[in-house]
Amino acid sequence: MAETKLTVAGADPQQLVEMTQYQQGSVVSRTLLQDESGTLTVFSFDEGQALSEHTVPYNAFIQVLDGQAEITIGGKPSLVNAGEIVLMPGGISHKVRAVKRFKMLLTMFKTKVA
């Protein structure tokens, strides 16, 4: 069994939006949990910053914590605002761009999609 990497105190309430800070012209990430079942990562994007189009074999959820992002899945762009969540199905290309500065929680489940 693989080791679980945890970077937050267990059982203590945490403010997700405070776990990464904005940096001008950058994307900042902090992995909160990583093991064989998946990852939980908080990101901060400065306005205009992006993750280029890519595909992974796993389902992933984005929960926007602050700001606004354009998330393109399978060529279809959607604006996603604070408080909203979107599923990025495994095996389908996706990309993320900050329309405004934004923060997100990425939850990836490492279960291959059929």
The 10 Å Cβ neighbour count of residue 25 is: 8
Q: Is residue 13 part of a domain?
A: no
Look up the CATH number of the domain holding residue 75.
Answer: 2.60.120.10
Q: Is residue 25 part of a domain?
A: no
Q: Is residue 27 part of a domain?
A: no
CB 49 within 8 A of CB 33: no
Q: Is residue 59 part of a domain?
A: yes
The confidence band for 68, taking pLDDT boundaries of 50, 70 and 90, is: very high
- pLDDT, residue 13, reads 85
Whole-angstrom Cα Rg for the chain: 14
Q: Is residue 99 part of a domain?
A: yes
Report whether pLDDT(1) > 50: no
- For residue 62, with 0-12 CB atoms within 10 Å meaning exposed, 13-18 middle and 19 or more buried, which class applies? buried
Give per-residue pLDDT as tens, 76-92: 999 999 999 999 999 99
CA–CA distances in Å: residue 88 to residues 7, 60, 99, 109: 25, 5, 18, 11
Q: Is residue 10 part of a domain?
A: no
Q: Structure pTM?
A: 0.87
Q: Is residue 23 part of a domain?
A: no
Q: Which is nearest to 54 in space by CA: 27, 39, 72?
A: 72
Domain span at residue 55?
A: 33-112
